[in-house]
Amino acid sequence: MSAQNPVFIPGPTNMPEALRKACDMPTIDHRSAVFGEILAPCLAGVRRVLKSERAQVFLFPSTGTGGWETAISNTLSPGDKVLAARHGMFSHRWIDLCQRHGLSVQVVEAPWGAGLPADRYAEILAADTAHEIKAVLATHNETATGVRSDIAAVRRTLDAAGHPALLLVDGVSSIASMDFRMDQWGVDVAVTGSQKGFMLPAGLAIVAFSDKAWRATETAKLPRTFFDVRDMGQSYARNGFPYTPPVGLMNGLRLSTEMLLKEGLENVFARHRRIADGVRAAVAAWEMPLCAEGPELWSDTVSAIRTPEGFDATKIVTHAAAKYGVAFGVGLGEVAGKVFRIGHLGSLTDVMMLSGLATAEMAMADLGLPVRLGSGVAAAQEVYRASEAKLEKAAA
């Protein structure tokens, strides 16, 4: 590993200079007015990134996993039934968390590489006329397989069934990188973290609650204190925090949302799309399939690439790290050894991405895979040449 090279893992991402400096803050008194000047724009900024008018945003010194726990423990009670699909490691882990917290999870199994099976959800929800299902879980972007699912479709199934279940969405590796419409999609709880699209260090769970989810906190019986959004909300109302806040990270989030909104969310999404298109062009040139089953599922933040049968895909990752000092992602769970992953989210340029693709080519060639050097790079170069990207100005 070399700290000089960019990382190409699907988070934590490379961090912009300005965000590192915003996080590296001297100690302030978090009970003073200065804290409110950091907190308020964070909450407002995240809300805009989520394309929501009214969602209540909460920030926990935690991670996406803590965000999942926040989502369920504030809205559900022991024994409650939830509907979830398992089609990758991260959807799997959320299911596991629910089960550990005493929920009854109806799991829809789907292939790792498929999207969330909205049609199966539709059947189950339609059949649940007693409305025993209290919440529906959805993983917007399966980081393990590079698959983006259609959250609007999940909302449609709920609406079609006239089902009142809450819609809880894991947007950890999509929010702030790919289009996410909390209000339009009727998302009740959205979960993400600081270390992906927000380009910050890990350490913050970022969770947003709709009005409906907020009302559910009144009856939810799962135990919670650290992750209690009502305590959090009461503290926010007086510019406070229920315990010691991670002020530096929050100052980073304040600036991150400012940078994202200044660039323009659609520009941010287009930038991720362009860089992802280059990666996909390279993968096609290598004649290797993506794990994602079809183009409509392609993630713009991470690509999982299937290597030939009999080849241990993990070797690419360990070799690239050991010989070239570059980090890619290994396959996890069912696709361990079958895929390697290229993260392409956060603070990244076309130029940085080309160095990742060039490295992947060297590693694959070193390991005997039939990849022609320069072939993927050339394909990506064609994509990047075609863009009329506006460059951010260097820090002045």
**Which parts of 105-144 interact with a copy of itself (CB under 8 A)?**
none
Residue 261: partners with Cβ closer than 8 Å, 6 or more residues away: 45, 48, 49
Min CB(164)–a copy of itself separation in Å:
25
Sheet holding 166-170, edge to edge: 56-61, 204-209, 189-193, 166-170, 133-139, 81-86, 104-109
Q: Is 51 in the site for a copy of itself (CB under 8 A)?
A: no
Q: Is 364 in the site for a copy of itself (CB under 8 A)?
A: no
The SS3 assignment for 269 reads helix
Q: Is 321 in the site for a copy of itself (CB under 8 A)?
A: yes
Q: Is 249 in the site for a copy of itself (CB under 8 A)?
A: yes
Angle between helices 33-49 and 247-263 (to 10 degrees): 40
CA–CA gap between residue 122 and residue 277 (Å, rounded)? 32
Residues 163-182 touching a copy of itself, rule: CB under 8 A, are: none
Q: Is 394 in the site for a copy of itself (CB under 8 A)?
A: yes
Q: Is 325 in the site for a copy of itself (CB under 8 A)?
A: yes
Tell whether 156 is in a known binding site. Answer: no
% helix, strand, coil for the chain, step of 5: 40, 15, 40
Residue 120 or 381 with smaller CB distance to a copy of itself: 381
One symbol per residue from 195 to 234: x for binding a copy of itself (CB under 8 A), - otherwise; what is it? x-----xxx------------------xxxxxxx------
Contact pick of 57, 83, 290, 330 for a copy of itself (by CB under 8 A):
330
Residues 251-310 touching a copy of itself, rule: CB under 8 A, are: 251, 254
* Dihedral sign of CA atoms 280, 297, 66, 228 in order: positive
Min CB(264)–a copy of itself separation in Å:
17
Q: Is 64 in the site for a copy of itself (CB under 8 A)?
A: yes
Considering only the stretches 26-34, 111-119, 121-129, 159-167, report the one whose residues sit in contact with a copy of itself under the rule CB under 8 A.
Answer: 26-34
Q: Is 396 in the site for a copy of itself (CB under 8 A)?
A: yes
Q: Is 34 in the site for a copy of itself (CB under 8 A)?
A: yes
Q: Could you identify the residue written with the tokens 């400096």?
A: 21
Q: Is 14 in the site for a copy of itself (CB under 8 A)?
A: yes
Q: Is 80 in the site for a copy of itself (CB under 8 A)?
A: no
Buried b (16+ CB within 10 A) or exposed e, 35-60: beebbebbbebbbebbbbeebbbbbb
Residue 227 or 269 with smaller CB distance to a copy of itself: 227
How many residues interact with a copy of itself (rule CB under 8 A)?
Answer: 104
CA–CA gap between residue 52 and residue 43 (Å, rounded)? 11
Contact pick of 54, 131, 262, 323 for a copy of itself (by CB under 8 A):
323
Q: Is 315 in the site for a copy of itself (CB under 8 A)?
A: no
Q: Is 359 in the site for a copy of itself (CB under 8 A)?
A: yes
Residue 163: partners with Cβ closer than 8 Å, 6 or more residues away: 125, 128, 131, 133, 157
Residue 373: partners with Cβ closer than 8 Å, 6 or more residues away: 361, 362, 365
- Cβ-based neighbour number of residue 264 at 10 Å: 12
Q: Is 75 in the site for a copy of itself (CB under 8 A)?
A: no
Tell me the backbone φ, ψ of residue 163, rounded to 5 degrees.
-95, 130
Which contiguous run of DSSP H or E holds residue 148? strand 147-148
Binding site feature residues for substrate: 341
